Structure 1
């Protein structure tokens, strides 16, 4: 409703009448007194928010259709009753994703290589009233991934609705300087682990009403960046895996998507962002002119997990402030 609409006495009066009628119904009254100017009695100015919201929607107390609309909308935008496994969830993007999913009603499970960090995070989430549990795991290990899936599904009541493959790493070197160990570490963490965890999760996701996988990829898998060819190749592989699994597992009722952030304020890039000159080069390349926060990425991940996103699959969503579409719009303010 436009502000100008409320400046007209007749419209203001109709709104006040609607609010009063809604409140009267809740309070057991039938004839609320409304002034000619459309002002509410003092008792109704202290009306509960829900009654005011009902009036604004045009609902009336006992309006079954209005209740159905609200329940339908709530269901589309809620993860109540859902379970989720998020890898690498104690810091950065993973932590933000855990908190976002849990805040929307999901029961979450996460992992970390650092036992102390995991314990501290679990205690903090418990204080916030978020339902999160977890265990120590190095996802580059095949055996530990198998154990992780067993522990997670057990803690989540034997089911899994959402898998967020978030954990990743990078080794910043010139291509000619990479060692076999570098290649093994990056590919095992960034590609083999999410590939294997998706395989392990499939039996659970395919029996879930609305099973969902989200890969945390990178714009480095979409365009050439100076962050290293090895990590870029691993993320490009994730992007293609997203498309393949989306098509292959659609008949099984499993949606598969990926998010591709650019520079985000996490521990993985904190050293890079300490270079003020380089950081300015990054920001000047972004139309929205700022570095992303973990919450920016988590919000999109959560959306892709919601029932509201039920018709979205096979997509790689760039969360980069517009960087990948910026052909030549230099900005240096």
Structure 2
């Protein structure tokens, strides 16, 4: 094994990826597993988790599925406990699960929806990271990757509260990196642009809107979930050990389009 491949090698590492039954979460989970990690597939639905686990294990990858509604404290605790019971350790946490149940002006958002977005998109990653912290401290070489969005970096239209929640994730990332660096833990954020997932279907299924959006992206197209994998593998592995507190865009150049 060359020095470079050894740096990216995740054998004997255990990774939890929330919201990983589909989309970006599933793609990242597969990438980590292909680099040797034992991965925990997690989403609200156990059957959806099991289907992904079967797909992965059929390919010779190491994976288990643990259903978890990340907005529920008991289920968060169960996710961590079952992971440790199965694998004996936790090395990597990818906070990917998020929601956006509303589209429109910020003044029209119902307060209950605001609370729900903040609970899932901000409080849950904070709480899960806190639960994982003691396990990452043990080996002095842990990684937390928070999946944010380019919406955290520049205001769009109709996604104001979602954008606000993702901006909060960036500051959470920086504070976690600053406070937990002493424990050998690195924390970084990835800001995807427009990626072809079920989550963003309302944007790319509208051909007129998609064409308009793609004209604003230097690469001229939307991204695919698999195009988030390389960056995630870098940040999860020893190759990224001196990278912490960073905010990394993977957006086809959207943020420089002006």
**TM-score above 0.5, yes or no:** yes
Give the aligned CA root-mean-square deviation in angstroms: 1.2
Query: Match of 1:99, SS?
Result: helix
Superimposed CA distance per residue, residues 260-290 of structure 1 (whole angstroms, 9 cap, x where no aligned partner):
0111111111132111111011111111111
Contact map agreement 2:41 2:53 (CA 8 A) in 1: no
Query: Secondary structure, in 3 states, of the residue corresponding to 1:136?
Result: coil
Match of 1:162 among 92, 98, 103: 92
Moved over 6 A (4+): none
For residues 14 and 75 of structure 2, what CA distance do their matches in structure 1 show? Answer: 20
Partner of residue 129 from structure 1, selected from 57, 60, 64: 60
2:164 equivalent in structure 1: 233
SS of aligned partner of 1:194: helix
CA shift for structure 1 position 209: 3.9
CA distance in structure 2 between the partners assigned to 1:312 and 1:115 by the alignment: 34
Q: Deviations over 1:267-326 (max 9, x none)?
A: 111132111111011111111111010011122111111111111000010111111112
For each residue in 1:134-164, what CA deviation from the matched residue of structure 2 results, as whole angstroms up to 9, or x when unmatched? 211111112211111111222222x111000
TM-score normalised to structure 2 length: 0.96
- Report the equivalent of 2:5: 74
Q: Distance in 2 between matches of 1:108 and 1:204?
A: 15
Instruction: Measure the CA separation in 1 of the matches of 2:76 and 2:142.
Output: 19
Paired residue secondary structure (1:233): helix
Q: What residue in structure 2 maps to residue 293 of structure 1?
A: 224
Q: 1:118-197 residue pairs with structure 2 within 5 A?
A: 118-157=49-88, 159-170=89-100, 171-197=102-128
**Structure 2: how far apart are the matches of 1:246 and 1:301?**
16
- Tell me how far apart the structure 2 counterparts of residues 232 and 256 of structure 1 sit (CA, whole Å): 20
Residues 50-89 of structure 1 correspond to what in structure 2 (within 5 A)? 70-89=1-20
1:265 is aligned to 2:196: yes
| Residue equivalent to 1:319 | 250
Structure 1 length normalisation: TM-score? 0.75
* Mapped pair 1:110 → 2:12: no
Q: Which structure would you say has the larger Rg?
A: 1
The structure, 1 or 2, with the larger RCO (C-alpha pairs under 8 Å, 6+ apart) is: 2
Instruction: Give 3-state SS (helix, strand or coil) of 2:80's partner.
Output: helix
Q: How many residues align?
A: 257
After superposition, the Cα gap between the structure-2 partners of 1:227 and 1:177, relative to the gap in structure 1 and judged at 3 Å, is closer
For structure 1, which runs of at least 5 residues remain unmatched after alignment? 1-69, 328-333
Contact 1:134 1:152 in 2 (8 A): no
